[in-house]
Amino acid sequence: MTASSDIAVNAPAMSNGRKEPGYAGKKMRPGISASIIAEITDCNLALSQQRKKRQIPSTLAPVEDLERYTQLSSYPLHKTGKPGITSLDICHSKDIIATGGIDTSAVLFDRSSGQIMSTLSGHSKKVTSVNFDAQGDMVLTGSADKTVRIWQGSEDGSYNCRHILKDHTAEVQAITVHATNNYFATASLDNTWCFYEFSTGLCLTQVEGASGSEGYTSAAFHPDGLILGTGTSNADVKIWDVKTQANVTTFSGHTGAITAISFSENGYFLATAAQDGVKLWDLRKLKNFRTFSAYDKDTGTNSVEFDHSGCYLGLAGSDIRVYQVASVKSEWNCVKTFPDLSGTGKVTCVKFGPDSKYIAVGSMDHNLRIFGLPSEDGAMES
Protein backbone atom coordinates (compact mmCIF):
# COMPACT_ATOMS: atom_id res chain seq x y z
CA MET A 1 0.00 0.00 0.00
CA THR A 2 1.36 3.39 -0.91
CA ALA A 3 1.81 6.18 1.56
CA SER A 4 -0.94 8.18 -0.06
CA SER A 5 -3.48 5.39 0.34
CA ASP A 6 -2.37 4.86 3.94
CA ILE A 7 -3.24 8.44 4.73
CA ALA A 8 -6.47 8.38 2.75
CA VAL A 9 -7.69 5.26 4.56
CA ASN A 10 -7.22 7.00 7.87
CA ALA A 11 -9.11 10.10 6.78
CA PRO A 12 -12.03 11.05 8.97
CA ALA A 13 -15.44 11.11 7.36
CA MET A 14 -16.40 14.70 6.76
CA SER A 15 -18.15 16.95 4.26
CA ASN A 16 -15.97 18.20 1.42
CA GLY A 17 -17.64 21.60 1.60
CA ARG A 18 -17.78 22.02 -2.16
CA LYS A 19 -20.69 24.44 -2.21
CA GLU A 20 -20.45 26.15 1.11
CA PRO A 21 -20.45 29.92 0.61
CA GLY A 22 -19.04 29.89 4.14
CA TYR A 23 -16.65 32.79 4.34
CA ALA A 24 -16.67 36.40 3.22
CA GLY A 25 -16.27 37.14 -0.43
CA LYS A 26 -15.70 33.57 -1.62
CA LYS A 27 -17.59 32.38 -4.67
CA MET A 28 -19.69 29.30 -5.12
CA ARG A 29 -17.57 26.56 -6.69
CA PRO A 30 -18.70 23.63 -8.87
CA GLY A 31 -16.57 21.23 -6.80
CA ILE A 32 -14.43 18.28 -7.83
CA SER A 33 -16.83 16.13 -9.84
CA ALA A 34 -17.18 12.36 -9.74
CA SER A 35 -15.52 12.09 -13.15
CA ILE A 36 -12.51 14.12 -11.96
CA ILE A 37 -12.27 12.00 -8.82
CA ALA A 38 -12.31 8.90 -11.04
CA GLU A 39 -9.55 10.42 -13.19
CA ILE A 40 -7.45 11.21 -10.12
CA THR A 41 -8.03 7.71 -8.73
CA ASP A 42 -7.08 6.02 -12.01
CA CYS A 43 -3.93 8.15 -12.19
CA ASN A 44 -3.05 7.14 -8.63
CA LEU A 45 -3.47 3.43 -9.39
CA ALA A 46 -1.38 3.63 -12.55
CA LEU A 47 1.44 5.56 -10.89
CA SER A 48 1.42 3.28 -7.85
CA GLN A 49 1.85 0.24 -10.09
CA GLN A 50 4.67 1.92 -12.00
CA ARG A 51 6.42 2.85 -8.78
CA LYS A 52 6.63 -0.76 -7.64
CA LYS A 53 8.58 -1.60 -10.81
CA ARG A 54 10.52 1.66 -10.93
CA GLN A 55 14.30 1.41 -11.01
CA ILE A 56 16.95 4.08 -10.67
CA PRO A 57 17.83 5.19 -14.23
CA SER A 58 21.26 4.19 -15.44
CA THR A 59 21.70 7.74 -16.71
CA LEU A 60 21.42 9.28 -13.22
CA ALA A 61 24.49 11.25 -12.20
CA PRO A 62 26.41 9.18 -9.62
CA VAL A 63 27.49 10.53 -6.25
CA GLU A 64 31.08 10.65 -7.49
CA ASP A 65 30.05 13.19 -10.13
CA LEU A 66 28.02 15.33 -7.73
CA GLU A 67 31.02 15.57 -5.44
CA ARG A 68 32.91 17.25 -8.30
CA TYR A 69 30.16 19.71 -9.28
CA THR A 70 31.14 23.35 -9.44
CA GLN A 71 29.55 26.53 -10.77
CA LEU A 72 29.52 26.34 -14.56
CA SER A 73 27.67 29.52 -15.42
CA SER A 74 25.75 32.50 -14.09
CA TYR A 75 23.04 34.24 -16.09
CA PRO A 76 21.66 37.73 -15.25
CA LEU A 77 17.99 37.05 -15.97
CA HIS A 78 16.32 39.65 -13.78
CA LYS A 79 16.59 43.38 -13.17
CA THR A 80 19.41 44.64 -11.00
CA GLY A 81 17.19 47.40 -9.54
CA LYS A 82 14.95 44.83 -7.83
CA PRO A 83 17.22 41.79 -7.49
CA GLY A 84 16.12 38.45 -6.20
CA ILE A 85 15.04 35.15 -7.76
CA THR A 86 12.24 33.81 -5.57
CA SER A 87 11.46 30.53 -7.32
CA LEU A 88 12.38 28.31 -10.24
CA ASP A 89 11.18 25.23 -12.08
CA ILE A 90 12.69 23.01 -14.76
CA CYS A 91 10.90 21.37 -17.68
CA HIS A 92 13.00 18.20 -17.97
CA SER A 93 11.74 17.17 -21.41
CA LYS A 94 12.86 20.46 -23.00
CA ASP A 95 15.61 21.46 -20.54
CA ILE A 96 14.00 24.86 -20.02
CA ILE A 97 14.28 26.71 -16.72
CA ALA A 98 11.69 29.19 -15.46
CA THR A 99 12.59 31.74 -12.81
CA GLY A 100 10.33 34.09 -10.84
CA GLY A 101 11.68 37.41 -9.65
CA ILE A 102 11.11 40.21 -7.20
CA ASP A 103 11.17 42.45 -10.30
CA THR A 104 7.57 41.17 -11.03
CA SER A 105 8.59 39.13 -14.08
CA ALA A 106 9.20 35.47 -14.85
CA VAL A 107 11.89 34.43 -17.30
CA LEU A 108 12.02 31.28 -19.45
CA PHE A 109 15.58 30.24 -20.13
CA ASP A 110 16.90 27.62 -22.56
CA ARG A 111 19.66 25.92 -20.60
CA SER A 112 21.32 24.19 -23.54
CA SER A 113 21.70 27.37 -25.63
CA GLY A 114 22.19 29.73 -22.69
CA GLN A 115 19.55 32.08 -24.12
CA ILE A 116 16.44 33.73 -22.72
CA MET A 117 13.38 32.42 -24.57
CA SER A 118 10.73 34.70 -23.13
CA THR A 119 10.14 37.23 -20.37
CA LEU A 120 6.67 37.02 -18.85
CA SER A 121 5.49 40.45 -17.75
CA GLY A 122 2.15 41.44 -16.25
CA HIS A 123 2.25 40.86 -12.51
CA SER A 124 2.29 44.04 -10.42
CA LYS A 125 4.25 42.56 -7.50
CA LYS A 126 6.96 39.92 -7.04
CA VAL A 127 6.49 36.51 -8.63
CA THR A 128 6.47 33.96 -5.82
CA SER A 129 6.03 30.70 -7.73
CA VAL A 130 6.65 29.35 -11.24
CA ASN A 131 5.62 25.94 -12.55
CA PHE A 132 5.62 24.15 -15.90
CA ASP A 133 3.09 21.63 -17.05
CA ALA A 134 4.66 18.26 -17.92
CA GLN A 135 5.35 19.14 -21.56
CA GLY A 136 6.50 22.69 -20.95
CA ASP A 137 3.71 23.99 -23.19
CA MET A 138 2.21 26.03 -20.36
CA VAL A 139 3.65 27.96 -17.44
CA LEU A 140 1.95 29.01 -14.21
CA THR A 141 3.04 32.07 -12.25
CA GLY A 142 1.80 33.09 -8.82
CA SER A 143 2.39 36.50 -7.33
CA ALA A 144 2.19 38.70 -4.27
CA ASP A 145 -0.38 40.67 -6.29
CA LYS A 146 -2.87 37.90 -5.29
CA THR A 147 -3.20 36.53 -8.83
CA VAL A 148 -2.15 33.45 -10.78
CA ARG A 149 -1.46 33.60 -14.51
CA ILE A 150 -1.59 30.75 -17.04
CA TRP A 151 0.81 31.27 -19.95
CA GLN A 152 0.52 29.34 -23.21
CA GLY A 153 3.59 28.63 -25.31
CA SER A 154 3.60 29.21 -29.07
CA GLU A 155 5.68 27.83 -31.92
CA ASP A 156 8.00 30.83 -31.97
CA GLY A 157 9.04 30.20 -28.38
CA SER A 158 7.05 33.05 -26.85
CA TYR A 159 4.45 32.59 -24.11
CA ASN A 160 1.19 34.51 -23.93
CA CYS A 161 -1.09 34.99 -20.92
CA ARG A 162 -4.30 32.97 -21.38
CA HIS A 163 -5.92 33.40 -17.98
CA ILE A 164 -5.58 35.66 -14.95
CA LEU A 165 -6.98 33.96 -11.87
CA LYS A 166 -8.24 36.22 -9.09
CA ASP A 167 -9.66 33.79 -6.56
CA HIS A 168 -7.27 34.60 -3.70
CA THR A 169 -7.51 37.67 -1.49
CA ALA A 170 -3.88 37.69 -0.31
CA GLU A 171 -0.42 36.85 -1.63
CA VAL A 172 -0.22 33.61 -3.63
CA GLN A 173 2.72 31.71 -2.16
CA ALA A 174 2.82 28.41 -4.04
CA ILE A 175 1.58 26.51 -7.08
CA THR A 176 1.80 22.76 -7.63
CA VAL A 177 0.78 20.74 -10.72
CA HIS A 178 -1.18 17.50 -10.30
CA ALA A 179 0.17 14.22 -11.70
CA THR A 180 -2.65 14.07 -14.29
CA ASN A 181 -1.25 17.32 -15.71
CA ASN A 182 -4.87 18.47 -16.05
CA TYR A 183 -5.17 20.22 -12.69
CA PHE A 184 -3.13 22.34 -10.33
CA ALA A 185 -3.44 23.79 -6.86
CA THR A 186 -2.49 27.16 -5.41
CA ALA A 187 -1.85 28.16 -1.80
CA SER A 188 -2.21 31.64 -0.37
CA LEU A 189 -1.71 33.71 2.74
CA ASP A 190 -5.49 34.17 2.71
CA ASN A 191 -5.64 30.76 4.45
CA THR A 192 -7.12 28.95 1.44
CA TRP A 193 -5.91 26.59 -1.24
CA CYS A 194 -7.60 26.30 -4.63
CA PHE A 195 -7.91 23.37 -7.02
CA TYR A 196 -8.02 24.44 -10.69
CA GLU A 197 -8.69 22.94 -14.07
CA PHE A 198 -5.70 23.66 -16.31
CA SER A 199 -7.51 23.98 -19.65
CA THR A 200 -10.11 26.53 -18.52
CA GLY A 201 -8.51 28.15 -15.48
CA LEU A 202 -11.70 27.34 -13.56
CA CYS A 203 -11.41 27.15 -9.78
CA LEU A 204 -13.28 23.93 -8.93
CA THR A 205 -12.99 24.28 -5.18
CA GLN A 206 -11.46 26.68 -2.66
CA VAL A 207 -10.67 25.14 0.70
CA GLU A 208 -10.36 27.22 3.83
CA GLY A 209 -7.97 26.28 6.62
CA ALA A 210 -8.82 26.17 10.30
CA SER A 211 -9.67 29.45 11.94
CA GLY A 212 -6.73 31.13 13.62
CA SER A 213 -4.26 29.96 10.99
CA GLU A 214 -2.18 32.66 9.36
CA GLY A 215 -2.22 31.32 5.83
CA TYR A 216 -0.38 28.94 3.52
CA THR A 217 3.25 29.49 2.53
CA SER A 218 4.05 26.38 0.45
CA ALA A 219 2.35 23.45 -1.28
CA ALA A 220 3.10 20.24 -3.16
CA PHE A 221 1.14 17.30 -4.51
CA HIS A 222 2.21 13.80 -3.53
CA PRO A 223 3.58 12.08 -6.68
CA ASP A 224 0.57 9.73 -6.77
CA GLY A 225 -1.79 12.71 -6.74
CA LEU A 226 -4.21 11.64 -4.00
CA ILE A 227 -2.87 13.95 -1.31
CA LEU A 228 -1.77 17.58 -1.16
CA GLY A 229 0.69 18.97 1.37
CA THR A 230 0.52 22.60 2.46
CA GLY A 231 2.89 24.49 4.74
CA THR A 232 1.55 27.22 6.98
CA SER A 233 2.95 30.47 8.32
CA ASN A 234 2.52 29.14 11.86
CA ALA A 235 4.95 26.22 11.35
CA ASP A 236 2.49 23.37 10.66
CA VAL A 237 2.32 21.10 7.62
CA LYS A 238 -1.20 20.03 6.70
CA ILE A 239 -1.92 16.96 4.57
CA TRP A 240 -5.16 16.97 2.58
CA ASP A 241 -7.14 14.25 0.83
CA VAL A 242 -7.65 15.76 -2.63
CA LYS A 243 -10.87 13.83 -3.33
CA THR A 244 -12.67 14.95 -0.16
CA GLN A 245 -10.61 18.05 0.68
CA ALA A 246 -10.35 16.73 4.24
CA ASN A 247 -7.33 17.67 6.36
CA VAL A 248 -6.29 14.09 7.18
CA THR A 249 -3.18 14.80 9.27
CA THR A 250 -1.01 17.68 10.48
CA PHE A 251 2.73 17.58 11.11
CA SER A 252 3.95 19.92 13.84
CA GLY A 253 7.37 20.64 15.27
CA HIS A 254 8.97 23.28 13.08
CA THR A 255 9.81 26.83 14.14
CA GLY A 256 8.67 29.61 11.81
CA ALA A 257 6.79 29.57 8.53
CA ILE A 258 7.16 26.50 6.33
CA THR A 259 9.22 27.76 3.40
CA ALA A 260 9.14 24.65 1.18
CA ILE A 261 7.90 21.06 1.05
CA SER A 262 8.85 18.18 -1.25
CA PHE A 263 7.62 14.59 -1.54
CA SER A 264 10.08 11.87 -2.56
CA GLU A 265 9.37 10.03 -5.79
CA ASN A 266 8.80 6.71 -4.01
CA GLY A 267 5.98 8.38 -2.10
CA TYR A 268 7.28 7.40 1.33
CA PHE A 269 9.05 10.57 2.47
CA LEU A 270 8.14 14.22 2.88
CA ALA A 271 10.81 16.88 3.40
CA THR A 272 9.81 20.22 4.93
CA ALA A 273 11.88 23.36 5.42
CA ALA A 274 11.55 26.28 7.84
CA GLN A 275 13.60 28.65 10.00
CA ASP A 276 14.90 25.75 12.11
CA GLY A 277 16.09 23.58 9.20
CA VAL A 278 14.70 20.54 7.35
CA LYS A 279 12.59 17.75 8.80
CA LEU A 280 12.03 14.38 7.14
CA TRP A 281 8.70 12.64 7.70
CA ASP A 282 7.82 8.97 7.20
CA LEU A 283 4.41 9.03 5.52
CA ARG A 284 3.78 5.39 6.38
CA LYS A 285 4.06 5.98 10.11
CA LEU A 286 3.26 9.72 10.03
CA LYS A 287 6.25 10.75 12.10
CA ASN A 288 9.41 12.81 11.89
CA PHE A 289 12.46 10.55 11.68
CA ARG A 290 15.30 12.98 10.96
CA THR A 291 16.09 16.69 11.23
CA PHE A 292 18.86 18.63 9.48
CA SER A 293 19.78 21.77 11.40
CA ALA A 294 22.06 22.99 8.65
CA TYR A 295 22.45 26.61 9.72
CA ASP A 296 22.52 28.76 12.82
CA LYS A 297 19.30 29.86 14.50
CA ASP A 298 19.25 33.17 12.59
CA THR A 299 19.54 31.51 9.17
CA GLY A 300 16.48 29.73 7.85
CA THR A 301 16.29 27.02 5.22
CA ASN A 302 14.53 28.52 2.20
CA SER A 303 14.30 25.56 -0.15
CA VAL A 304 14.18 21.76 -0.03
CA GLU A 305 13.81 19.50 -3.06
CA PHE A 306 14.03 15.78 -3.87
CA ASP A 307 15.43 15.05 -7.31
CA HIS A 308 13.16 13.18 -9.74
CA SER A 309 14.83 9.82 -9.06
CA GLY A 310 14.39 10.19 -5.32
CA CYS A 311 18.09 9.54 -4.77
CA TYR A 312 19.16 13.07 -3.80
CA LEU A 313 17.81 15.82 -1.56
CA GLY A 314 18.87 19.43 -2.00
CA LEU A 315 18.42 22.18 0.55
CA ALA A 316 19.40 25.83 0.54
CA GLY A 317 19.81 28.69 3.00
CA SER A 318 23.13 30.51 3.30
CA ASP A 319 24.60 27.81 1.02
CA ILE A 320 23.43 24.77 -1.00
CA ARG A 321 23.72 21.22 0.32
CA VAL A 322 23.03 17.90 -1.37
CA TYR A 323 22.25 14.77 0.65
CA GLN A 324 22.13 11.18 -0.53
CA VAL A 325 18.69 9.75 0.22
CA ALA A 326 18.75 6.68 2.47
CA SER A 327 16.15 4.91 4.62
CA VAL A 328 14.44 5.82 7.87
CA LYS A 329 17.13 4.04 9.89
CA SER A 330 20.18 4.71 7.69
CA GLU A 331 22.19 7.91 7.72
CA TRP A 332 21.53 10.54 5.05
CA ASN A 333 25.00 11.78 4.15
CA CYS A 334 25.76 15.27 2.88
CA VAL A 335 27.74 14.58 -0.29
CA LYS A 336 28.34 18.16 -1.42
CA THR A 337 28.11 21.72 -0.12
CA PHE A 338 28.19 24.63 -2.57
CA PRO A 339 28.92 28.17 -1.39
CA ASP A 340 26.46 30.97 -2.05
CA LEU A 341 28.26 32.82 -4.82
CA SER A 342 25.66 35.60 -4.97
CA GLY A 343 27.18 37.36 -1.98
CA THR A 344 23.70 37.87 -0.52
CA GLY A 345 23.85 35.07 2.03
CA LYS A 346 20.40 33.90 1.01
CA VAL A 347 19.84 31.12 -1.50
CA THR A 348 16.10 30.99 -2.19
CA CYS A 349 15.57 27.98 -4.47
CA VAL A 350 17.31 24.85 -5.74
CA LYS A 351 16.22 22.31 -8.37
CA PHE A 352 17.85 19.28 -9.96
CA GLY A 353 18.11 19.12 -13.74
CA PRO A 354 17.36 15.99 -15.80
CA ASP A 355 19.12 12.96 -14.27
CA SER A 356 20.63 15.41 -11.75
CA LYS A 357 23.25 16.25 -14.39
CA TYR A 358 23.13 19.83 -13.14
CA ILE A 359 21.66 21.85 -10.28
CA ALA A 360 19.92 25.18 -10.84
CA VAL A 361 20.09 27.76 -8.05
CA GLY A 362 18.37 31.09 -7.42
CA SER A 363 19.48 33.63 -4.81
CA MET A 364 18.68 37.16 -3.72
CA ASP A 365 20.69 38.63 -6.58
CA HIS A 366 19.46 38.64 -10.20
CA ASN A 367 21.49 35.68 -11.48
CA LEU A 368 20.50 32.10 -12.23
CA ARG A 369 23.43 29.82 -11.41
CA ILE A 370 24.12 26.39 -12.87
CA PHE A 371 26.27 23.89 -11.02
CA GLY A 372 27.47 20.76 -12.79
CA LEU A 373 30.38 18.59 -13.81
CA PRO A 374 33.03 20.53 -15.75
CA SER A 375 34.50 18.85 -18.78
CA GLU A 376 38.04 19.29 -20.03
CA ASP A 377 37.05 22.00 -22.49
CA GLY A 378 35.09 23.89 -19.84
CA ALA A 379 31.64 22.93 -21.10
CA MET A 380 29.15 20.91 -19.14
CA GLU A 381 29.25 17.18 -19.65
CA SER A 382 25.95 15.73 -20.80
Q: Tell me the HSE value of 35 on the side-chain side, using a 13 A CA sphere.
A: 4
Residue 354 dihedral angles phi and psi, to the nearest 5°: -55, 130
* Span 311-361, pLDDT tens digits: 999 999 999 999 999 999 999 999 999 999 998 989 999 999 999 999 999
Say if CB 282 and CB 269 are below 8 A apart. Answer: yes
Domain 3-13+24-52+63-372 = CATH 2.130.10.10: yes
- pLDDT value at 20 more than 60: no
- Whole-number Cα distances in Å, 302 to 13, 96, 257, 347, 374: 35, 23, 10, 7, 27
pLDDT of residue 73: 95
pLDDT of residue 25: 45
Residue 75 dihedral angles phi and psi, to the nearest 5°: -120, 125
pLDDT of residue 212: 67
pLDDT of residue 19: 35
| DSSP one-letter string for 76-110 | E-S-SSS--EEEEEEETTTTEEEEEETTS-EEEEE
* Span 55-105, pLDDT tens digits: 888 999 999 999 999 999 999 998 888 889 999 999 999 999 999 999 999
